Every structure is written in C-alpha cells, then in structure tokens.
C-alpha cells in the first residue's frame, strides 16, 4: 500500500491572488436497460455549503479556504430504496460537513480529512437507521466516492466500487481502490485483472453505506498539478469505458460539459446496462505547479485513525500474547477486517427490473463459497490439500511393495 506523507497540519491557504481554479460539470443518465436512475451526484462549494446546479452548463470557480466537494453515489436495493439511499448519502455528507468543517476557524489538511471521514461515517449510520425503521427499505445501500479539494491537494473517501480517476499528461490513473470481491481476489493472486473484468461476480462489493451499522472508509490523497482532470464516476461508466479511453477522450475534449456527454454516450453505445454518472473537474490556476518528471499519481493512502489503512496497519502489527504474559494491544473489535466471505457483499448482478431487490448478499456470497461456486476459493483449498494427497499416495505405494515382497519371500 502506497503512503505519501506531508505536513498534515498545514497546507497552502488559498489567497485571492493564488487559488485553485476549477471548471466542473456533472451528468447522470438512466442508461439503456434500467427504468429508474439509482445514481446521484453532488458538487458543492464548502465555503458557503451550496450545491451547484448544472442545468445551465458548467461552473467556473476559484476555490476558497474550505474547498470544494465532488460526490458520486450508486444506490442499490431496488428503485425506491436505491434512489433514496444515494440521495440520502449526498445530502447527509454535505450536512455533516456543514456542521463541522465549514465552522472550522483554522482549517488544516488533517482536519479536512477527519471531517470527510466523520461525515461519511455519520451518513452511513443515518441510512442504516432509516432502513431499520422502515421495513420497505430494509437492506438498501449505496456506494460513495467523495472527493474534496483543499488547497492544492485532493482527498478522496471511498466506500464501494464507484471510482475516481486523475488524468495527467494524457494518462488516466485510478486513485481509488474498489472495495469488491474481485479486487480482493486480484490482490491475493487468485485472478488476473483481465479475468476479474469478465467475471460474473465482478459486481459483488464488500462495503456500502447503509446495510451495516458500522463502516470503515478508505481515505486517499493526491497532490494536484496544473492541467489535471478528475473523473468521478459510477460503475455504469467505468464498467463500459476503460481508463485509457477516459484519458484519450479527456485529452481530446477541453469542454467539461461535452466531456461528460461524450463519456456517457460512449457507455450507452456499448449497451448502457446500468445507470451512468460522471463528474468531470479540470484544475488550473496560480496555486498549482506544472507537472514534473517523477510525480506520482495513483492510490495513496492517507494515514488517519478510523480508516482502512490504519485498521490494516493495526492488524499487521498484532502479535499474540507471549509466554511472559505481557499482552499487546488487540485489533479493534468494533471495526473488524473486511474479508470476502464474512462481510457485506451486495450489488445487483442479474436484476432485470428496477423494482426488484438486489439479489447478491453477504449470505449469498458465503453460500457460493460453501457450495463450490466460488472457483478461486475452491482452487485455493485444493492446492492446500495437495501435499496430503501426495503423502497418502506414497504410503499406499510403499504398502503395496511391502506386500508383494512378503508374498514373494513366502
């Protein structure tokens, strides 16, 4: 896991003459197969707490001290529940930031990261409570990719498998990591990325906002350069249009409004099997330096308590109780490690109507593993058992030889 460090308690404070300039547009489309749109997006000025309306075209903004917010959410659980979950996520994250971040007198990079984390965790709790209190929405959830601009740096909170790409110098790099079963199997070496892309289980996700009472967010950050373009999108786009195509289209189209339209049209031209949502943001201005050789673009965890990075680090450092009886700190029980067969794993796969509930649950994923439908997991178990079979075969062969020699000697 890449971790980029910098002074998290200070960051360039935007001044009137040196601020990041942003051109942004957002677009959502129902796609070619769905009857309802369960996606949502939100772009907001965090100085005023005002969401931006794109009915008349793109916006050009000079970022103020509290920055900007760019969010895409992809709901699940059937039309009514999915639409509600994604819209609630958008509204609740902004509400949380209004209550904490916008009132911060001396904003810092660390306090901004904490505010994004806390607003997302609080939104999860509210969505979960709503689903518990209203049985007709039981099991609803939504992914959330939440990018925040502070100074000359981008912070991204990730829950689920919507994505954020940063396009620099004609290359698109994914700066989020999918919280999905396929991503976990690729990291474990069980599948190649190419195999994961065509798997019929590629839409099983390990986390979402709403289905569980607690969620542990992934938090990353990225140094911005002049001319960078951020693409935040639901899997209705990323599943149909690959990173190299996103890069080429972004380089060819300077107008962010037309870029969003082109990306959505490209996904629909390939069948548009899902809702499609995209937010396109171009960064410029005197506050940003030009890109230089050696710049690193990609997934870079931000070290903050209560995030997946800190949880993974704690688990990696955990040691059992030694013989002298000195007990080392245990991993936190309130935020267990995410594993493919023991955590939330819900995402629609074979849904043919928007009013049908999602049919891929954690229980279903565990059942697949138990019944042998999860081929990579079965392969792993077979591989582990091979040494036992070899030993048994050698013993059987030795016994046969001994018997034959005994009979000949008799």
Give the model confidence (pLDDT) of 217-239 as tens digits: 999 999 999 999 999 999 999 99
pLDDT confidence tier of residue 380, bands split at 50, 70 and 90: very low
Buried b (16+ CB within 10 A) or exposed e, 240-278: bbebeebbebbeebeebbebbbbbbebbbeeebbbbbbb
| Nearest CA-CA partner of 314 in 296, 300, 333 | 333
- Report the predicted TM-score, pTM, of the whole model to 2 decimal places: 0.78
Residues with Cβ within 8 Å of 187's Cβ and at least 6 positions away in sequence, in order, are none
For residue 385, pLDDT over 50 is answered with: no
Q: What pLDDT sits at residue 349?
A: 40
Q: Is 30 left (phi over 0), alpha (psi -120 to 50) or beta?
A: alpha
For residue 397, pLDDT over 50 is answered with: yes
For residue 244, pLDDT over 70 is answered with: yes
Q: How many Cβ atoms are within 10 Å of 228's Cβ, its own excluded?
A: 22
pLDDT confidence tier of residue 310, bands split at 50, 70 and 90: confident
Q: What pLDDT sits at residue 408?
A: 53
Of these ranges, 9-23, 84-98, 326-340, the one predicted with the greatest mean pLDDT is 84-98
Percent of the chain scored above 90 by pLDDT?
63
The answer to whether domain 21-315 has CATH 3.60.40.10 is yes
Q: What pLDDT sits at residue 348?
A: 43
For residue 378, pLDDT over 80 is answered with: no
Q: What is the largest CA-CA distance in the chain?
A: 104
| Contact criterion met (CB below 8 Å) for 246 and 231 | yes
Map tokens 């018997």 to a residue: 403
Measure the CA–CA gap between 26 and 55, rounded to whole angstroms: 10
Q: What SS3 string covers 341-376?
A: CCCCCCCCCCCCCCCCCCCCCHHHHHHHHHHCCCHH
Average pLDDT, the chain: 81
pLDDT tens across 332-374, in order?
Answer: 433 334 443 344 554 444 333 344 434 333 433 433 433 344 3
Domain residue extents for the chain: 21-315, 381-410
Measure the CA–CA gap between 42 and 164, rounded to whole angstroms: 14
Residues with Cβ within 8 Å of 101's Cβ and at least 6 positions away in sequence, in order, are 46, 66, 107, 111, 112, 115, 116, 119
Q: How many CA atoms lie within 13 A of 398 on its CB side?
A: 6
Map tokens 């689920």 to a residue: 160
pLDDT tens across 276-303, in order?
Answer: 999 999 999 999 999 998 899 999 999 9
Q: What pLDDT sits at residue 317?
A: 54
pLDDT confidence tier of residue 312, bands split at 50, 70 and 90: confident
pLDDT tens across 89-138, in order?
Answer: 999 999 999 999 988 778 899 999 999 999 999 999 999 999 999 999 99
What does the block give as tokens for 313?
A: 């680090």
pLDDT tens across 169-199, in order?
Answer: 999 999 999 999 999 999 899 988 888 888 8
């Amino acid at each position: 896991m890449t971790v980029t460090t910098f002074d998290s308690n200070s960051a360039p404070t935007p001044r009137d003459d040196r601020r990041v300039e942003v051109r942004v547009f957002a677009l959502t489309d129902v796609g070619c197969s769905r009857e309802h749109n369960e996606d949502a997006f939100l772009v907001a000025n965090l100085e005023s707490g005002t969401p931006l309306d794109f009915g008349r075209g793109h916006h050009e903004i000079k970022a103020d001290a509290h920055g900007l917010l760019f969010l895409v959410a992809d709901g699940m659980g059937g039309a009514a529940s999915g639409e509600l979950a994604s819209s609630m996520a958008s509204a609740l994250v902004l509400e949380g930031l209004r209550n904490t971040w916008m009132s911060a007198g001396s904003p810092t990079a660390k306090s901004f990261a904490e505010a994004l984390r806390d607003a997302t965790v609080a939104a999860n709790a509210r969505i979960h409570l709503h689903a518990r209190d209203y049985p007709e929405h039981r099991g609803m959830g939504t992914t959330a990719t939440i990018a925040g601009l502070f100074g000359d740096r981008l912070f991204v909170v990730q829950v689920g498998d919507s994505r954020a790409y940063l396009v620099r110098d004609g290359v698109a790099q994914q700066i989020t990591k999918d919280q999905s079963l396929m991503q976990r199997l690729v990291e474990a070496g069980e599948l190649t990325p190419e195999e994961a892309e065509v798997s019929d289980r590629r839409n099983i996700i390990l986390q979402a906002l709403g289905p569980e009472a607690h969620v542990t967010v992934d938090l990353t950050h990225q140094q911005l350069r002049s001319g960078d373009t951020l693409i935040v999108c639901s899997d209705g786009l990323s599943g149909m249009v690959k990173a190299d195509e996103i890069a080429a289209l972004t380089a060819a189209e300077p107008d962010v409004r037309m870029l969003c339209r082109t990306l959505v049209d490209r996904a629909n031209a390939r069948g548009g099997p899902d809702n499609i949502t995209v937010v396109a943001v171009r960064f410029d201005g005197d506050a940003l330096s030009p890109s230089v050789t050696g710049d690193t673009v990609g997934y870079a965890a931000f070290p903050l308590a209560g995030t997946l990075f800190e949880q993974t680090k704690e688990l990696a450092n955990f040691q059992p109780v030694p013989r002298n009886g000195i007990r080392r700190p245990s991993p936190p029980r309130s935020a267990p490690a995410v594993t493919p067969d023991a955590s939330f794993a819900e995402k629609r796969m074979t849904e043919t109507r928007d009013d049908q509930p999602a049919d891929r649950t954690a229980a279903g994923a565990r059942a697949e593993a138990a019944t042998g439908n999860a081929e990579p997991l079965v392969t792993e178990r077979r591989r582990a058992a091979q040494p036992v079979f070899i030993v048994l075969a050698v013993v059987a062969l030795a016994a046969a030889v001994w018997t034959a020699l005994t009979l000949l000697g008799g």
